[in-house]
Amino acid sequence: MSKTEVISKEKAREFDKQDEFQQYRDEFFLQQEQIYMDGNSLGLMSKRAETKVNELMESWKVLAIQGWTKGNYPWFYLPEKLSEMCAPLIGAESKEVMICGSTTSNIHQLVSTFYKPNGKKTKILADELTFPSDIYALQSQIKLQGYNPDEHLIRVKSRDGRMIEEDDIISKMTDEVALIFLPTVLYRSGQLLDIERLTKEAHKRGIKIGFDACHSIGAVPHQFSDWGVDFAVWCNYKYLNGGPGSVAGLYVNKKHFGIEPGLTGWYSSKKDKQFDMSHTLEVEESAGAFQVGTSHILSLAPIIASLELFAEANIEKVREKSLQITRFMMELVEQELEGLGYYIGNPMEDGRRGGHVCLEHDEAIRICKALVEEGVIPDNRPPNIIRLAPIAFYTSYEEVFDTVQTLKRIVLEKRYEQYGKERNVVS
């Protein structure tokens, strides 16, 4: 699109005709009279997910205990199967990935493993814009080591309240830092950090570094192994459409294989030794060692379906569509919403942007309530952010066009004024 070309609904429909991802829209349960723009919070249910859940339920019904080793998806080996399928999304070897736990439990697991304060190296480096759960976990781990989080958790300041500059992070990599833990993409503004550069700079200083990839996996391809990232965690219910509270995932670089996890359990042991019932743990030499307990089999089922779709579509093509459609949305915002109080709060450059568009408005809470009533499902992050995520698999360009027109109408006609300013319980 040229800057002088006016974007029309016809142009949006033209883009849809050229979009190879249109074939996947029918794979998802799209609701009539609704535009779903919240896939960066909870991805839509796919029809394959329903099939896989029923298939796993059937295996339980028919095979009972034998389901652990029999059927189309033997339960005992299902996490490893999914890890193999997931590995291409983050650029890792299959043994470096494990589908298990929740994001926060996996943070606790990996920080307890890699945070080893020694001498003057006692601090953890994070950023002030990261998701609260990450901070709570880091504070907890610092306390468990006998330190005061107020003194030993460094949070890099943002210059503008939206983004974190890599130079500012690097400047805080002092000889007091024992571990660095950062998001790949900032959950509010959608800024994509330079993971490769930050990893390289951390390792120059002898510091281990890990990432929370919740807001990038399934939208942005990574090369964690090539970049030498020490560890990472993520959820599977956003761009990966794994369902509410879906089993999460973790990555551990193979150079760390063989070390004992900070938190151990039955599943930390070698698979072929697990049923020896020995009280001496023989640690699995893969990311599988960082599991703690029995896999949640029924919750793994939708992830099978999702990763099949990603294998077919290719994460590089997913990223290409994501960048194109978010660019389209931003150009529409600039064309249609000027003077209405909206501000684009995410990076404009493709290389610095994740998978969602961050719109700021002083009436964001009430605008989001109005959007829902108008049939557009957004995401609100108080006090002033409207997050909109056009998803490669199931969002059309025409839906993006209609969403921006709805944003325009809500403010022009002051439709938001009929709603209260209080935040919803789940926003």
Binding-site residues for pyridoxal 5'-phosphate sit at 103-104, 131-134, 212, 215, 237, 266, 294
Dist CA 191 CA 162 (whole Å): 8
Q: Which of 227, 132, 126, 196 is nearest to 168 (CA)?
A: 126
Q: C-alpha 425: how far from its chain's center?
A: 22
Q: How many CA atoms lie within 13 A of 207 on its CB side?
A: 27
Pairing of strands 357-360, 123-127: unpaired
CB-based contact 358:188 (threshold 8 Å): yes
Tokens of 185: 């993409």
CA-CA-CA-CA torsion sign (254, 256, 262, 268): positive
Phi-psi map region of 144: left, alpha, beta (phi>0 left; psi -120 to 50 alpha): alpha
By CB atoms closer than 10 A (0-12, 13-18, 19+), residue 251 is buried
CB-based contact 67:75 (threshold 8 Å): yes
* Phi then psi dihedrals of residue 138, to 5 deg: -65, -40
Residues in the chain: 427
Q: Which of 426, 393, 315 is nearest to 49 (CA)?
A: 393
Q: Can you give 20-54 as a three-state secondary structure string?
A: HHHHHHHHECCCCCCEECECCCCCCCEHHHHHHHH
Positions at the binding site:
103-104, 131-134, 212, 215, 237, 266, 294
CB atoms within 10 A of CB 196: 15
Dist CA 202 CA 383 (whole Å): 33
Q: Which of 95, 117, 72 is nearest to 305 (CA)?
A: 72
Pairing of strands 153-156, 376-377: unpaired
